[in-house]
Structure 1
Amino acid sequence: MAALAVAIVAVSTSAILIRFSNAPSGPMAFWRVTLTLLLLAPLSLRSGAEFQKFDRRDLLSALLAGLALAAHFATWFESVDKTTVAASVTLVTTQPAFVAVGAYFLFGESLSRRSLAGIGVALAGSAVMSLDGLLGGTTAPEPVLGNLLALAGAVLAGLYVLAGRSVRQRVNLVPYVTVVYVVCAGGLLAYSLALGDPVLAYPPREWLLFLGMAIGPGLLGHTVVNWALAHVESSVVSVSFVGEPVGSTVLALVILGEVPGALTLAGGAIVIGGIYLTARGRR
């Protein structure tokens, strides 16, 4: 539980670090994933024999998961620059709702009344948050587009979770994330090169931010969350992620001086309630 608390604080810094960086979203996400891979390299080398547990189906699933994660990073990093931190982080955290829907259609998992209610509440909250952009209640440059990109990031994060769920039942954490991160980094590199964004030409300040993203949200955040899943009920882990938008909003207020609009705050509270209901309604 202590590790989980540290992880939620760590992932809450992600949007702040993105805002501090002047790099395009593609290279920024590429270096976050690549540096996380380098930090995990000693563990990956020690797990050499575990890679043999991958069969063809597992490799295809890991490939899909890595590409979905790359697309998630690309859309969400772009979202942070276009809408408020509060809106972007809250909307991307609606991932459990899309996982629940995807698990119903792909795996035949039943949806409890609580989960259905939670999905409906989360979507209603998302609509309320988008009204802030439509009515001019925020100073964000492109709030509507930013909110849509954050929702797209949530859908892609849900696809990443669903693609890797069966693999994780047979393959340990480090080999799995190593393969997924390699595919993800490759996808982000191709995306950056296709847009003509520079990959290497950055000042020392940017490299420190890239390293901070890898150590904080990458290593201490999502990797620790995956480790915690072996020791804490998955429903507890899912619900704990509602702390991320709260933490990010507070950090944005204190560090960036960014005050979210009234509808963003109201809609965000509704979304968090919906995420809580969805997560508690699923095993």
Structure 2
Amino acid sequence: MTNSSRHARWPALVAAAVTVVLWASAFVSIRSAGDVYSPGALALGRLLAGALALGCVLLVRREGLPPRAAWPGIAVSGLLWFGVYMVVLNWGEQQVDAGTAAMVVNIGPVLIALLGARLLGEGLPPRLVAGMAVSFAGAVVVGLSMSGEGGSSALGVLLCLLAAVGYAGGVVAQKPALAHASALQVTTFGCLVGAVVCLPFAGQLVTEAIDAPLSATLNMVYLGVFPTALAFTTWAYALARTTAGRMGATTYAVPALVVLMSWLALDEVPGRLTLAGGALCLAGVAVSRSRSRTASAPGAGQAPTPADAERRSPSH
């Protein structure tokens, strides 16, 4: 890999890291807001806060509407990922313990890699497959260590599985849209589509917000501004510069970071099994993100850079 291509990867790696850290922090905030707000109301409030923040940035940057070619991907990702995923995941986590939810939802990156290979022609590099296998094993270990007795239901498992499918479908739909529009445009209008999908919960949101403590509402706003508006934008920025499968594998770092943040913020001391699972997740991510010497050689099958594919708007 040349020095120029290596330097070009750093912004995407930093963006992916920001996404993973903020998505991990979301689990801590949901602990507070989820005790007060129902699943649909929490999703709608989060999306409205995110859409408002993104809309303000979009106006300041004067990016305008995405090109027509980007709208199919934006609409599908908005429906599946911003809409369906957020509602059913909130609902599912009320039906199952955190460990079971983590194990089932982490099927998502596997589905992303398979769908990316089938629909986007990305292929399945051996290092990606090996890394995902290690990370998924780590996620299972973390899930088993966190699972409580009698805390799961068939409905909850089904909802978490549906969330994983929505997440995977949304990511794969978003990838082609980024060939025509900026990360900010794709994220902003995807968030708006999700908010529209969740509008039936508007009555619940208003009713619950009246009685909700300030801390819960602030956590909901935080979820909208940072893990949604900022993190989904940095995700789209990084996704535009790599494959959907590789980005999906990166999210396996989230369980390890959730364990660490819960330890620091909530005094939830992890056991040895949980720490071992978190270490496996991080090791798998490192393997999946690594490149073989052959692939790293100039012109040896590297993924196109943004300069190679004329996909970026002036904002990038």
Question: Does the alignment reach a TM-score above 0.5?
Answer: yes
| Whole-angstrom CA distance in 2 between matches of 1:123 and 1:5 | 19
Contact 1:121–1:273 (CA<8 Å) still a contact in 2?
yes
Q: CA deviation at 1:157?
A: 1.4
Partner residue, 1:244: 254
Q: Which residue of 42, 51, 63 maps to 1:28?
A: 42
Structure 1 residue 249, shift from structure 2 partner: 1.4
Kindly indicate whether residue 204 of structure 2 is the aligned counterpart of residue 198 of structure 1: yes
Give the SS at the match of 1:10.
helix
Q: 1:52 to 1:98 in 2, by over 3 A?
A: closer
Q: What SS does the corresponding residue of 1:200 show, helix, strand or coil?
A: helix
What is residue 231 of structure 2 aligned with on the other side?
A: 221
Contact 1:85 1:252 in 2 (8 A): no
Tell me the equivalent position of 1:74: 87
Q: Does 1:209 align with 2:215?
A: no
Q: CA deviation at 1:209?
A: 1.8
TM-score computed with the length of structure 1 as normaliser: 0.76
Contact 2:99–2:142, Cα closer than 8 Å, also in 1: no
Query: Which of residues 32, 50, 53 in structure 2 aligns to 1:39?
Result: 53
Distance 1:179 1:7 in 2: 18
* 1:104 to 2:117 alignment: yes
Change (3 A) 1:121 1:147: farther
Q: 1:52 to 1:95 in 2, by over 3 A?
A: closer
Partner residue, 2:313: none
Pairing partner for 2:197 from 177, 184, 187: 187
Deviation digits for residues 54-74 of structure 1, max 9, x if unmatched?
Answer: 24xx32322111111111112
Shift of 1:210: 1.5
- Name the stretch that deviates more: 214-223 or 118-127: 118-127
Change in CA separation of 1:149 and 1:142 when aligned onto 2, cut-off 3 Å: same
| Cα distance change of structure 1 residues 9 and 38 upon mapping to structure 2, 3 Å threshold | same
Unaligned 5+ residue runs, structure 1? Answer: none
Taking structure 1 as reference, are residues 220 and 53 closer, same or farther at Cα in structure 2, changes over 3 Å only?
Answer: closer
Can you give the 5+ residue segments of structure 2 that lack an aligned partner in the other structure? 1-10, 292-301, 304-316
Q: Give the direction of change, closer, same or farther, for the CA distance of 1:112–1:14 in structure 2 (3 Å limit).
A: same
Q: Does 1:53 align with 2:67?
A: yes
When the two structures are aligned, how many residues end up with a matched partner?
273
What is the CA distance between 1:168 and its match in structure 2? 0.6
How far off its partner does 1:276 sit? 4.7
- Residues 256 and 282 in structure 2, CA contact (< 8 A), matched pair in contact too: no
Distance in 1 (alpha carbons) for counterparts of 2:286 and 2:162: 20
How far off is 1:185 after superposition?
A: 0.9
Amino acid at match of 2:192: V
The offset of 1:82, in angstroms, is: 4.4
Q: Quote the offset at 1:199 in angstroms.
A: 1.8
Separation in structure 1 between the aligned mates of residue 268 and residue 237 of structure 2, nearest angstrom: 33
- Partners of 1:262 and 1:17 in 2: CA distance: 25
- Give the conservation status (yes or no) of the 8 Å contact 1:91–1:126: no
Which amino acid letter does the alignment assign opposite residue 194 of structure 2?
C
CA pair 215-182 structure 1, distance change in 2 beyond 3 A: closer
Name the CA shift for 1:84/1:52 in 2 (closer, same or farther; >3 Å).
closer
Structure 1: distance between partners of 2:279 and 2:84: 27
| Secondary structure of 1:110's aligned partner | coil
Q: Aligned equivalents of 2:164 and 2:132: distance in 1?
A: 13
Rounded Cα–Cα distance in structure 1 between residues aligned with 2:57 and 2:277: 41
1:17 alignment partner in structure 2: 29
| Residue in structure 1 matched with residue 74 of structure 2 by the alignment | 62
Maintained 8 Å contact 1:96/1:278: no
